[in-house]
Each structure stands twice: as C-alpha cells, then as structure tokens.
Amino acid sequence: MTTAPANQPLLEIRNLRIEFPTRRGILVAVDDISLHIDPGEILGVVGESGAGKSLTGAAVIGLLEPPGRIADGQIILEGGRIDNLPYEEMRKIRGRRIGAIFQDPLTSLNPLYSVSRQLVETIQTHLPLSERQARARALELLQEVGIPGAEERIDHYPHQFSGGMRQRVVIALALCAEPRLIIADEPTTALDVSIQAQIISLLKRLCKDHQTAVMLVTHDMGVIAEAADRVAVMYSGRIAEVGPVQDVVRRAKHPYTHGLMGSIPHIGHAVAKLTQIEGSMPRLQEIPPGCPFNPRCPEADGRCRAERPELQWIENTEVACHRFDAPEARSQAGD
Amino acid sequence: MSVAELDAVGRVTDLVRRCLDSDIYFSFKSSKITMIAAAVTAAMFLAAVFAPLITPQNPYDPAALDLMDSFSPPVWIEEGTWTYFLGSDDQGRDLYSAIIYGLRLSLGVGFAAVIIAMLMGVSLGLISGYIGGTLDAVIMRIADVQISFPAILIVLLIDGVVRGILPNERHDDLALVVITFALAFSAWPQFARTVRGSTLVEKNKEYVQAARVIGRSPLWIMAGHVLPNVMGPVLVIATISLAVAILGEATLSFLGVGVPPTEPSLGTLINNGQNFLFSGEWWIVIFPGIALATLVLAVNLLGDWLRDALNPKLR
Amino acid sequence: MTEAAQVPTEAAGADLLLRAHDLKRYFDVSPPFLNRVIERLPRAIVKAVDGVSFDIGRGETFSLVGESGCGKSTVARLVVGLYQPTAGGITFDGIDVAGQTAAEARQNVQSRMQMIFQDPYASLNPRWRVANIVAEPIRARGLLPSNREVKARVGELLTQVGLSPADSEKYPHEFSGGQRQRISIARALAGSPDFLVCDEPTSALDVSVQAQILNLMKELQRQYHLTYLFISHDLAVVYHVSTTVGVMYLGRLVEWAPTQTLFNQPRHPYTRMLLDAIPDLEMTGRQRIPVAGEVPSPINPPSGCPFHPRCPHADDRCRAEMPTAHATGDSHVACHAVDDGRLS
Ligand SMILES: Nc1ncnc2c1ncn2[C@@H]1O[C@H](COP(=O)(O)OP(=O)(O)OP(=O)(O)O)[C@@H](O)[C@H]1O
Ligand SMILES: Nc1ncnc2c1ncn2[C@@H]1O[C@H](COP(=O)(O)OP(=O)(O)OP(=O)(O)O)[C@@H](O)[C@H]1O
Ligand code: SF4
Ligand SMILES: [Mg+2]
Ligand SMILES: [Mg+2]
C-alpha cells in the first residue's frame, strides 16, 4: 500500500458518469459527479430517493450491476485508480480495503447459511485466523454492533432475525477486516434511535482511531447532523450542493436543499400538513435541459431552463445553482 | 369488414407487434449463438417430423434393407456411393435415413420424459418447500431413496413390473410409453430438490407474504409468485436431463428393454456402432454421435439463453 | 374461543376497529434435535410478542415504537394474519379473526386489510412488472371489470405516490429503494382497504418524498376514514402521524398514551430514555444519550420487569415482580416506580 501524503484524500471521485444502456437509448443515472473524502472523515450523502446515491457507492466498490456501467470518470483510492481494475483485484480490495454496508440487508446475507458461518468465512478470507479465532472475532463484532444475546443467536439464520438485527449483521460483516474506507448505504434506516446512536458512535470511533473514511448515505438528517463532517446533496444524478454539515443543514443555499430541510418533521410543533416540495424528481428518460430541479424550483428563470449550472464556491460550500451567478451573467442569459 | 372483425384483426396485429417488440424477442435477436442454436434445434425438429419425406429409405422396414450393401463407407471415401452418402451399417441401413428416424425417436422420448419429470418434480418441489411439514418430509424421503438407486435400475424395475402386468402382445406397442415414463420417473427428484431449495428461500421473502396478505391462495402464490423465481436452475437441469434421457434411452435399448433393435433410435445406433469403431467402420458411430452432440449442445444453449432472458435483471 | 367472547366490544365505543387482547407469539429457535442431545443445549424459545393488548379506533393511527427486535413487526404480522398467535385474540370490527376456528372470518376481513412491508427490496416480486404488482390486489378481489380500467387505476395510483404511469412497464430492480417503497405503497392502496398496517413505510425514503407520502397518507385517512397501524423508528414521523403511540420493550407494551401526552409527559423510564436518544438536528450541541446498558436477549428475558437491568429507578420489587399496566392520567404505564409514586 502506498503511503499517501497527508493532504491527499483517501477517496477521490472525478467526473463520474454512470449509464444504463437500454433498448430505447442510454439512461444517465449519475452525471458528472466529483467528490473526495479525506482520511478520518465522514462524508454524508443525502438527496432525493433515486438520485443516484446508491449507484455512486456501488461504483466505488466495483459492484455496479450490469447493464449499469461507468461511462466516464475516475475513482481513485489512496492515490491509485480502482475503477478500471480487473475483477480479481477489485475483489481483493473489496472487504479488505473498502467495506460495504448495503441498503438491502437480505441480499448481502445468504439465507441458506447461518450468520456465524457467513461471518467466519468473511473473516477468514481477509484475516489469517483459525476457525476458532474467527468465531471469537465474529462474536465480538456482533456484540459491538449491539446484537442482544449474541452467543445464542450467532448460529441462527438471517430470516430468524428482525429487520434491524439483520442490518447490524451486515454492518458487522463490513467491519470485519477493518477496511480503510466504508461505504455505508443507509446503515441505520432499519434501526431504532438507540442502536442508531450506538452504530454512529462506532463509525465515529473507527474514523478517529484508525483514520477510516466513511461515505454515509442516509435519509436521516439527524444522523447526518450528528455524524457527518461534510455533506453532499444529490439530485437527479448530480450534486446540488456540497459543504460542511453546519452550512448545508442550517444555511442551505440550493433551493432543493432548502426544500429538503423544510420537509423534516419536528417533534414539538404539530402541523396538519408537512411542508413538501411539489412535484417529483424527473425520470431518467425525462431529465430537462438546464438545471434538473427547474420544474420544481420556485426561483427558476430562463437561464435555469437552458443552461446546466456548475458547482461554484459560495462561502464555505459549493453550490450548483444559477441564483448565485454574477448578476451580469444572469441578466444576459435571461434575455 | 364488420367492426368486430376489424377489431379482431387489430388485436392480432397488435399482439404480433407486441411480440416483436418484447424484451425476449429483443434478447433473442441480439444473441447470434442463440439464433444459431435455435435454427439447429428447429431444423432437427423439422427433420424428425418430416422424416419419411426427406429420407431415401425407411430404415425400419426390413424389406428395404439389403445386407449386400452393409458397411458401405461415406461417399468421399473410396468405394463410397451416393446412395449411402453417410455410409451404411451392418444391416445395410442407410445411415442418413437411420439418423433422421432415430432423431425422431430420441427427441420424442427425451422431450416427453423431461417434460413429465419437470412437471412432476417442479410441482412436488414447490409443494414440498412451500407447505413444508410432514408432506415435505415424505416427498423428500421418497426423492432421497430414489436418488440413491441408479436411474437404470429404477427404469428396469418399472419396465419389469409393467411387463409382468401387461399381456405379451402389448409390450411392443407400449415399449415407448413405458420407457418414457420410466425415464421421467428417474429424473424427477433432481427437479424436486432444486425447486424445493429455492422455494424455501423465496417463501420467506416479503413479496410472498404480501401476496398472502392480499388474500391469494397458496396454490396461486406457488404458481404465480414462487414458480417464476425458481425456474432459472430448472431450465438448466432440463437441458442436461434431456441429454441424459436420450442417452438413457439408448442404454436401455442396448440392454434390450427399450425400443426394439429393428427400429433404432439415435442411441441404439451409437451403441451398435461402438462395436465397429475399432474394426475400421468408424462412420457407424461417428455420424449418429455428431447428430446427438449437436442436438444436446443446441438445446443446452437455448436453455441457458432462456434462463437469462426470463430474468429481468439480466436484460 | 371463549376468550374472544369475554372482550367487551361495546365498552370501547362503537367505532372500535381492531382490538388485540393479550397477544402472544413465541418462536422456537432451538438447535436441531441431535445437537440438543449431544451438546446438551436447552430448547430456546424467543418470546417475540408476550402479552400485548391494545385497541385501535376507526380512523385513528396507532403507532408502535421501540427498539429494533422488540416485536413490532411480529405484532403487525399477527394482525394481518401472517402468523397465528400462540395465545390471545384479535378482533377486527367485532369479528374474532385469530382463533383456530376463525379461518373463515379471517377470509372475510382479509380483503379489508393491507400491509406495507419494511424491506422495499424483498417485498416486490422481481419477476413481475410494476403494473402487475400494483394491480394484484385489484385483480385478486375482482375490483375492476376490465383490463383497461385496471390499467388506468394503476396509472392513477402510481401518480399518487409520485411515480409515473410509464413506470408500470418496468421491473422492480430498475428502481431505487425509495421508489420501490412507493410501489409497495401504491399496491397497498390499490385494494382500497379500511385498515393499513404500515411497517416502516417511509424509512427508505428521503425526507421530501417522506413528507409527500405522509401527507398523502393523512389525506387518504381523512377522505376514506382509513385506520393505520403504524410502525416507525423515526419518532418525529410518529409524532406527526399518530393519534396514539404504544412503546414496546422486549415483546411487551410498556406505555401507551395519546401522542401529545406521550411526547410531553413520558412516564415509563424506557420512554424517557427513548426520547432522549433522538438525534439532534438543531445541532445545539446536546449530547445524545443512548439508552444505557446491554439489550437483553428475548430468549432469556430478565426476571421481573424486563427493563430493570437498564433502568435507573429499579428496586428489588422491579427485579422480582412483573409490572402490569395501569392507567395514569391519559397514559397506561407498566412500571412499579410509577405505581409506587417514585416517579411522577
Ligand atoms: N438496473 C437499472 N436499470 C435502469 N435504471 C436503474 C437501474 N438501477 C437503478 N436505476 C435508476 O438509477 C437511479 C439511481 O438509483 P439509486 O439506487 O442510486 O438511487 P438512490 O439515490 O440510492 O435512491 P434511494 O435513496 O431511494 O435508495 C434511479 O432513478 C433508478 O431508477
Ligand atoms: N420467523 C422467526 N423465527 C424466529 N425468530 C423470529 C422470527 N421472526 C422474528 N423473530 C424474533 O422475534 C423478535 C422480534 O422480531 P420483530 O421482527 O418483530 O422485531 P421488530 O420490532 O420489528 O424489529 P425491527 O425494528 O428491527 O424490525 C426478534 O428477536 C426476532 O429475532
Ligand atoms: S418497573 Fe422498575 S425497572 Fe421497570 S421501568 Fe419501571 S422502574 Fe424501571
Ligand atoms: Mg439507495
Ligand atoms: Mg421490524
């Protein structure tokens, strides 16, 4: 492993583009995304459901399901490109250097094998441990992710676990080789607040102690606010806004982020109807020209409908919105 | 034309258009190998069906055979003649005609056996896996017992029993039916076990439970929801079983309990030809062998393609 | 079933829709017989639901919250008839639907219930097109006469949940997690049920779609007088949708109360801890306090009050005696400390 210079990000995604070639033309699900995560950093990824968050994660660990494919761009892990590696080499990186927690706990677990067997096998693939040691480690991991009565339950099958317990088994699987980067795709959605707090502190501890980097995809703004250092907001396969968590959550700049934050229900003030962004995200076949958010945006003007906004620095955050363009550029295009 | 007729025509053209537009047709068209395999299979089927029309000789008719012409080599070898362009066997049968007629028999017995085995195995496997309990235990124990006996033994057993029950003169008429069922019987446990395994996995998934909440009957859920999700491996087993059934039929015929040697199937031809492989008359075994291998390969490829084409994720 | 006869249906008023009475469901998770004999392992029984009683009035939303694994989904499955209760009864609209003899009654009310499942990946048949998935309840019950009408209705439902009618030709794997969850919501609505069991219907959705779905659910509730049994981990969502909230711990209801009461005056120590563990969005720097202590195993639940190993107010009585639920103001609480007046 190359020792990276201190200022080098652990993971860098450059101009990533993911396509689905179909019979009726090519669908672009992720369109020109650039991101980086530093060692020891947690990058939160939020955004509309279907915005391409999971696909981005899948691309990083090289598990895009065909016909999906990386059409353009680079993925760089600790200074080396990994998007073009042959399958075998990628398989070695997976699990060892990148751990993945998938959104879908049932597909990551084999329903025919007991939980212990799956954990022990994974541990032995990556670490030189004996069967007995691996089992001890598996038990330790299950306890760490908070499975009650781990000794008794370790030999059970996935369907005998509740939704949240399965999710925790998946987390344990991802952590077993102490990877450098963890892609966590909604790791806590099936968990109650208390276990959630436990998992988050576990992730944070890994980041602090081992300089592990985490890409944390979630819908839970509370989790983001608590765990993430920076947040990227995605919409229609593009990044709408990215910056430090404080700025994005509390001083959202992009109109979509604004709407998103406004939709969060709060305990304490009862409302008959939650604020919602009217309309829905365009389907992949129908992404409008210009800014993809323009049909739903209260501030959209002619330029928004014609020209794609690029990310630009506004204070601490990067925002892709024409609202922040220099006034001259704006009026020119408005004519 | 009346409105109703126009409507009917419209619906038919619509159907044709939808078929041509369907994903399966599309995936068919985009795979060259599949198209070739399909063409080969179709050609063999047609040849089998229209055998009397495209063969110069009826190999089953002893009167048409001439022992004087036995062991005639293929046409491109000295002494070969165009009458027997693939050569002839020890009985003076034209190999080309014998292959086409044999194909007919082999295909018929093989397909029928596999389809019966599949129907039986898949439904028993589904029921076993979905309902579980005692029924499951009983079905699976029967399957286990059956798997632990060699298939040939089972076939011989069934054949023997049937022969014991039926009067002698009906034997020949029923030989084909008996052999088909016997082959089917020896093949079903494989289907049943595979299907049961996948069913056990599928039935715990929430889509099956959703269907139960909707109020669908167990039978409907098995057929509509579980079946499409367990068919993938079944198709692969089916193509392999087809080859096994065709060869099994050959073995049985060789042992003298299958089809009568006067009406050779592809398998009988090969078995018969083996005796001459080292005495120089290689063509007697090689050509039927090539025909059989081609058939099995083509069907296998079709089966693989069908499995993938039916999986929406792989389109 | 004599037990069902004992449930006084009239007592709770005419608009009681669902009543669960001392509901229990145990799972046998023992190792295989041979292992038990050779390794001398004991039988293991998970008491997933262990004596839960609640009433849901027509047009109300009853929410269940509680730790992962405490038995919420099992309650949901019992209610819709996916599991048979080990003991206890369920009446729906006054009809006993849980007993051994209730199979026929179940058939009749089944069509009035629907369920939205927790896992958006496993709850849609991967081999079916969305059109057929959503249309299944309509077809199963013969709600609409012609295919054209079914198709139109499917389009309408998809639009309602924020998808497009054109999506109906696709297969589930072509959708993201949240989009799939919307398909399963559309399917549940397609059967025009009176009663919907929602097992974490929005946990896979982003907050803006979640807001749309919750608004839609509330709107439908107003229009069609729907009743919901709602399960969620997101207490803010629960706060927003429910009329009554039940807090579960290790297979039991430890407290239930009208929403406002529960959130303003939580009484049971576990409820208090749960509310303290809510993540802090305002980032005021408040430290989130995870519920302390080991989560007990449902195979060997602690003696007495199942919460006592983690409870700051536990005393000897708590360790020995199982508390039963008593009404305190609006709430029902099962806690000795509250009973004894040690805790207001
Ligand atoms: N196999 C596929 N074929 C066609 N489109 C696909 C396929 N897989 C995913 N997509 C599309 O790609 C887009 C992005 O999907 P992705 O799973 O990354 O969303 P997401 O941001 O993770 O959403 P969620 O939060 O709901 O999980 C979606 O619009 C989805 O419809
Ligand atoms: N089929 C089963 N066989 C054995 N045990 C089961 C089964 N189903 C559930 N359990 C057990 O019952 C308990 C309650 O499970 P349930 O799914 O109801 O939890 P839950 O409250 O819905 O949790 P989550 O919030 O994580 O979904 C768990 O300990 C689980 O392991
Ligand atoms: S009964 Fe006792 S242990 Fe249980 S919650 Fe109340 S005070 Fe705590
Ligand atoms: Mg996703
Ligand atoms: Mg659950």
In chain B, what residues touch A112 (CB-CB under 8 Å)?
A: 197, 201
pLDDT value of position C102: 67
CA torsion angle for C280, C286, C287, C292 (degrees, to 10)?
Answer: -80
Report the chain B residue with the minimal C-alpha distance to residue A160.
B204
The model's confidence at residue A334, banded by pLDDT at 50, 70 and 90, is very low
- pLDDT reading at B150 higher than 90: no
Query: Is the pLDDT reported for residue C281 higher than 70?
Result: no
What is the tens place of the pLDDT at every residue in C127-184? 899 999 999 999 888 888 888 999 999 999 999 888 889 888 888 888 877 788 889 8
Report the alpha-carbon distance of residue A290 to residue A307 in Å, rounded: 4
Q: pLDDT band for C339, please (50, 70, 90 cuts).
A: confident
- Grade residue A271 by pLDDT with cuts at 50, 70 and 90: confident
Q: Do B214 and C191 touch (CB under 8 A)?
A: yes
Binned at pLDDT 50, 70 and 90, residue C79 comes out as very high
Please give the structure tokens belonging to residue B16: 């044709």
Q: What is the pLDDT of residues A20-74, one digit of tens each?
A: 987 778 889 999 999 999 999 999 999 988 899 999 999 998 888 878 889 999 9
For chain B, the domains span 23-314
CB A10 within 8 A of CB A37: yes
- Of all residues in chain A, the one with the smallest CA distance to B315 is A67
Give the distance from residue C340's alpha carbon to the nearest chain A alpha carbon, in angstroms: 28
User: Is residue C258 within 8 Å of residue C91, measured between CB atoms?
Assistant: no
Q: Per-residue pLDDT for A106 more than 80?
A: no
The answer, for A23 touching chain B at a CB cutoff of 8 Å, is: yes
Q: Is B135 on the interface with A (CB under 8 A)?
A: no
Cα C66 to averaged position of ligand 5 atoms, centre (Å): 10
Nearest residue by C-alpha to atom 10 in ligand 2: A160
Sequence-separated (6 or more) residues with CB below 8 Å from residue C29: A156, A160, C44, C45, C46, C299
Looking at residue C173, its pLDDT comes to 84
C71 C-alpha to ligand 2 centroid (Å): 6
Interface of A with B in 108-127 (CB under 8 A): 111-112
Instruction: Annotate A207-268 with DSSP letters as a single string.
Output: HHHH--EEEEE-S-HHHHHHH-SEEEEEETTEEEEEEEHHHHHHS--SHHHHHHHHT---SS
Q: Give SS3 for A44.
A: strand
Lowest-confidence segment of B67-71, B235-239, C69-73 by average pLDDT = B67-71
C202, C210 contact by CB (below 8 A): yes
In single-letter form, the type of residue at position A153 comes to: R
3-state secondary structure chain B: CCHHHHHHHHHHHHHHHHHHHCHHHHHHHCCHHHHHHHHHHHHHHHHHHCHHHHCCCCCCCHHHCCHHHCCCCCCCCCCCCCCCCCCECCCCCEHHHHHHHHHHHHHHHHHHHHHHHHHHHHHHHHHHHHHCHHHHHHHHHHHHHHHHCCHHHHHHHHHHHHHHHCCHHHHHHHHHHHHHHHHHHHHHHHHHHHHHHHHHHHHCCHHHHHHHHHCCCHHHHHHHHHHHHHHHHHHHHHHHHHHHHHHHHHHHHHHCCCCCCCCCCHHHHHHHHHCCCCCCCCHHHHHHHHHHHHHHHHHHHHHHHHHHHCCHHHC
Residue C11 has pLDDT above 60, yes or no: no
Residues in chain B: 315
pLDDT more than 90, % of chain C: 31
Q: What pLDDT does residue A331 have?
A: 55
Residues C250-278, mean pLDDT to the nearest whole number = 90
Average pLDDT over residues B243-247: 79
Residue A65 lies in a domain: yes
**What is residue A107's predicted lDDT score, i.e. its pLDDT?**
67
Q: Is B209 on the interface with A (CB under 8 A)?
A: no
Helix C147-160 / helix C177-190 crossing angle, nearest 10 deg: 130
Number of domain units in chain A: 1
What is the whole-number distance in angstroms between the Cα of residue A45 and the centre of ligand 1?
A: 15
Check if the beta carbon of residue A206 is closer than 8 Å to that of residue A182: yes
Average pLDDT value for residue range B217-223: 90
CB C96 within 8 A of CB C102: yes
- Among B26, B204, B313, the residue with its CB nearest the CB of A111 is B204
pLDDT in tens, A169-185: 888 888 888 889 999 98
What is the predicted pLDDT for the residue at C35? 74
What is the model's pLDDT at position C9?
A: 36
Average confidence (pLDDT) over C45-68: 90
Q: Which residues contact residue B222 at a Cβ distance below 8 angstroms, ignoring those fewer than 6 apart?
A: B126, B127, B130, B199
pLDDT tens-digit readout, A94-105: 878 898 887 666
Domain B23-314 CATH assignment equals 1.10.3720.10? yes
CB C29 within 8 A of CB A160: yes
Residue found under tokens 């009585």: C317
Q: Are A106 and B205 within 8 A, CB to CB?
A: yes
Whole-angstrom CA distances from A228 to A208, A266, C274 are 13, 20, 22
- With cut-offs at 50, 70 and 90, classify the pLDDT of residue C295: low
Place of tokens 């039978």: B219
pLDDT at C151: 92
Find the mean pLDDT for residues A77-104.
85
Q: How confident is the model at residue A231 (pLDDT cuts 50, 70, 90)?
A: very high
Q: In sequence order, what are the residues at sequence separation of 6 or more whose Cβ sits closer than 8 angstroms to the Cβ of residue C326?
A: C332, C333, C334, C338, C339
Q: Which band of pLDDT confidence, cut at 50, 70 and 90, is reported for residue C1?
A: very low
Q: What is the mean pLDDT of residues C52-72?
A: 91
Gap between the Cα atoms of C43 and B71, Å rounded:
74
Contacts of C34 (CB under 8 A, 6+ apart): none
Confidence band for C32, pLDDT divided at 50, 70 and 90: confident
- Nearest CA-CA distance, residue A111 and chain B, Å: 6
Smallest CA–CA distance from C192 into chain B, residue: B214
Helices (H) and strands (E) in chain C, counts: 13, 12
Residues C312, C318, C323: CA angle, nearest 5 degrees? 115
Mean pLDDT for the stretch of residues B56-67: 73
- Gyration radius of chain A's alpha carbons: 21
Average pLDDT score over chain A: 85
A277 and C235: CB-CB below 8 Å? Answer: no
The class (CATH top level) of C3-112+193-339 is alpha beta
For position C287, what pLDDT does the model report?
Answer: 61
> How far apart, in whole angstroms, are the C-alpha atoms of residue C47 and residue C301?
9
- Number of residues written out for chain C: 344
Predicted pLDDT of residue A232: 95
pLDDT band, residue B1 (cuts 50/70/90): low
Rounded CA separation A259/A277 (Å): 6
Mutate one of C43, C67, C123, C206 to test the A interface: name it (highest A CB count within 10 A): C206
Distance in angstroms (rounded) separating the CA atoms of residues A294 and A255: 10
Residue of C271, C291, C305 to test ligand 3 pocket, by largest number of atoms within 8 Å of CB = C305
CA-CA distance, B244 to B251, in Å (whole number)? 10
What whole-number distance in Å separates Cα of residue A194 and Cα of residue C67?
7
Encoding tokens for residue C292?
């302390």
The alpha-carbon gap from A294 to the nearest alpha carbon of chain B, in Å, equals: 32
What domain range is A326 assigned to?
11-97+177-266+274-334
A103 Cα nearest atom in ligand 1: 27
Average pLDDT of the residues of chain C? 84
The CATH number given to whatever domain includes residue A215 is: 3.40.50.300
**CB B313 within 8 Å of CB C126:** yes
Say what the pLDDT of residue A30 is: 93
The per-residue pLDDT for C122 is 85
- Percentage of chain C exceeding pLDDT 70: 90
d(CA C274, CA C268): 10
> What are the pocket residues of ligand 1 if the criterion is a CB atom closer than 6 Å to any ligand atom?
A 20, 27, 29, 49-55, 68, 103, 284; C 173-179, 206
**List of E strands, chain C:** 16-28, 45-57, 61-66, 87-92, 95-96, 113-116, 195-199, 227-231, 244-249, 252-258, 326-328, 331-333
What does the block give as tokens for B227? 């079946």
| Best mutation site among C70, C77, C200, C203 for ligand 2 pocket (most ligand atoms within 8 Å of CB) | C70
- Enumerate residues with CB within 5 Å of ligand 5 (an ion): A 163; C 73, 118
| pLDDT of A35 | 92
Which residues 239-268 of B have a C-beta within 8 angstroms of A? none
Position with higher pLDDT, C43 vs C70: C70
Cα–Cα distance measured from residue B181 to residue B101, given in angstroms and rounded to the nearest whole number:
21
Residue A110, classed as helix, strand or coil, is coil
**What residues of chain A lie within 8 A of the CB of C299, using their CB?**
149, 152-153
- Which A positions 91-110 lie with beta carbon below 8 A of chain B? 106
> Which band of pLDDT confidence, cut at 50, 70 and 90, is reported for residue C36?
confident
Three-state secondary structure call for residue A98? strand
Short-list C71, C40, C29, CA closest to C54: C71
Task: Give Cβ neighbours of residue B182 (< 8 Å, ≥ 6 apart).
Answer: B154, B155, B158, B159, B252
Confirm if A178 and A205 have CB atoms less than 8 A apart.
no
The shares of helix, strand and coil residues in chain C, as percent rounded to the nearest 5, are 40, 20, 40
Written as six digits, the tokens of A108 are 């990551």
Q: In sequence order, what are the residues at sequence separation of 6 or more whose Cβ sits closer than 8 angstroms to the Cβ of residue B32?
A: none
| Ligand 2 pocket: which of A162, A166, A195, A199 to mutate (most atoms within 8 A of CB) | A162
**For residues C203 and C184, what is the distance between their CA atoms, to the nearest angstrom?**
13
Average pLDDT in the B271-278 region?
77
Confidence of residue B20 (pLDDT cuts 50, 70, 90): low
What number of residues does chain A have? 335
With beta carbons under 8 A apart, name residues in chain A contacting B209. Answer: none
Nearest CA owner, ligand 2 atom 6: A160
Cβ of B26 within 8 Å of Cβ of A159? The answer is no
Residue pair C184/C120 in contact by the 8 Å Cβ criterion: yes
Contact B313 A112 (CB under 8 A): no
Q: Which chain A positions have a beta carbon within 8 Å of C31's beta carbon?
A: 155
> Which residue owns the Cα nearest ligand 1 atom 19?
A50
**Three-state SS at C137:** helix
Work out the percent of chain A whose per-residue pLDDT is above 90.
Answer: 24
pLDDT digits (tens, 9 = 90+) for B107-130: 888 889 999 999 999 999 999 999
C7 close to C93: Cβ distance less than 8 angstroms: no
Distance between B207 CA and the closest CA of chain C, angstroms: 4
Q: Is C177 on the interface with A (CB under 8 A)?
A: yes
**Nearest alpha carbon to residue A222 among A237, A200, A253, A204:** A200
Query: What mean pLDDT comes out for the span C60-78?
Result: 91
* Average predicted confidence (pLDDT) for chain B: 80
Beta-carbon neighbour count of residue C325 at 10 Å? Answer: 19
Q: How far is C325 from chain B (nearest CA, A)?
A: 31
Distance C84 CA to ligand 4 centre (A): 34
Higher-pLDDT residue of A252, A164 = A252
